[in-house]
């Protein structure tokens, strides 16, 4: 890959990383609809899905990891319980996306819904471990339900953005 293409690639990825952190911040300004930890829209995931679509799995993992670290630094702090809860959610959701993306039968809707569901389950499981309370797992059904709904919404938004970005020819090397 030529150096100008490499620079363009890194710049574009950095832009998506910045946008994902910004979306995470903007979402935190929205009023809480369901006051249960782990239930959230997850707008930042649109950037992750776009990166996975236009780039590759390695970039998808890198952007997601850096987003969790940056958001941790800006909000909860690194290596706090809040950070570990957030990190475990990201880890599980990324793993499921990496597995499912190997199978062509799964669309953006399945990928996003499974990612959101596993993100919530990861967070609840980590809370259950950190607080030694198996009762935290009682939230699993509501986390699955909310993850499914928000995952579909995020997939719909991402598919609209992907269509528009494809028209711009921005990612054609």
Partner 1 sequence: MKFKTKLSKVDIFFIPIVLIASLILSLVVFFGNSDTPSAVCVYVQGKLEYSEKLPVSKKIYLYKTEESAKQHGETKWFDCLQADMTIEIDGRSVRVEKEQSPRHICSQRGWFTTPNLPVLCEPNSVLVIIESREDNDFIVPIGVRFNG
DSSP structural state of residue 142: H
Q: Which parts of 50-89 interact with partner 1 (CB under 8 A)?
A: 52-53, 55-57, 75-77, 80-82, 85
Which residue has 């499974």 as its token pair?
114
Neighbours of 22 (CB within 10 A): 13
Work out how close the CB of 146 gets to partner 1 at its nearest, in angstroms, rounded to a whole number.
9
Q: Judged by CB under 8 A, which of 23, 71, 117, 121 binds partner 1?
A: 117
| Stretch of 4-12, 64-72, 87-95, 140-148 contacting partner 1, by CB under 8 A | 140-148
Tokens representing 96?
């499921």
Q: Judged by CB under 8 A, which of 95, 109, 157, 165 binds partner 1?
A: 109
Work out how close the CB of 8 gets to partner 1 at its nearest, in angstroms, rounded to a whole number.
19
Site size toward partner 1, by CB under 8 A: 48
Q: Which is nearer to partner 1, 1 or 3 (CB)?
A: 1
Q: Which is nearer to partner 1, 3 or 106 (CB)?
A: 106
155, 100 contact by CB (below 8 A): no
Burial of 31 (0-12, 13-18, 19+ CB in 10 A): exposed
Work out how close the CB of 59 gets to partner 1 at its nearest, in angstroms, rounded to a whole number.
10
DSSP structural state of residue 31: P
Buried-state track 148-170, b at ≥16 Cβ within 10 A, e below 16: bebbbbbbebbbeebeeeeeeee
Tokens representing 83?
């950070």
Residues near partner 1 (CB under 8 A) are 28, 32, 35-37, 52-53, 55-57, 75-77, 80-82, 85, 101, 104-111, 113, 117, 127, 130-133, 135-136, 138-142, 144-145, 148, 152, 158-159, 162-163
């Amino acid at each position: 890959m030529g150096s100008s293409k490499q620079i363009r690639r890194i710049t574009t990825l950095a832009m998506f990383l910045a946008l994902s952190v910004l979306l995470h911040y903007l979402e935190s300004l929205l009023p809480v609809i369901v006051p249960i930890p782990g239930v959230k829209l997850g707008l930042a995931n649109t950037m992750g899905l776009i990166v996975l679509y236009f780039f590759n799995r390695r970039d998808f993992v890198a952007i997601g990891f850096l987003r969790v670290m940056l958001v941790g630094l800006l909000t909860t702090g690194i290596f706090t319980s809040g950070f570990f809860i957030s990190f475990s959610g990201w880890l599980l959701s990324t793993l499921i996306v990496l597995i499912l993306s190997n199978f062509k039968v799964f669309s953006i809707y399945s990928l996003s819904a499974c990612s959101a569901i596993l993100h919530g389950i990861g967070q609840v499981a980590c809370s259950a471990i950190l607080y030694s309370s198996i009762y935290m797992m009682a939230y699993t059904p509501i986390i699955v339900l909310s993850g499914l709904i928000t995952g579909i919404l995020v997939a719909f938004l991402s598919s609209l953005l992907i269509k528009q970005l494809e028209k711009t020819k921005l990612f054609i090397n």
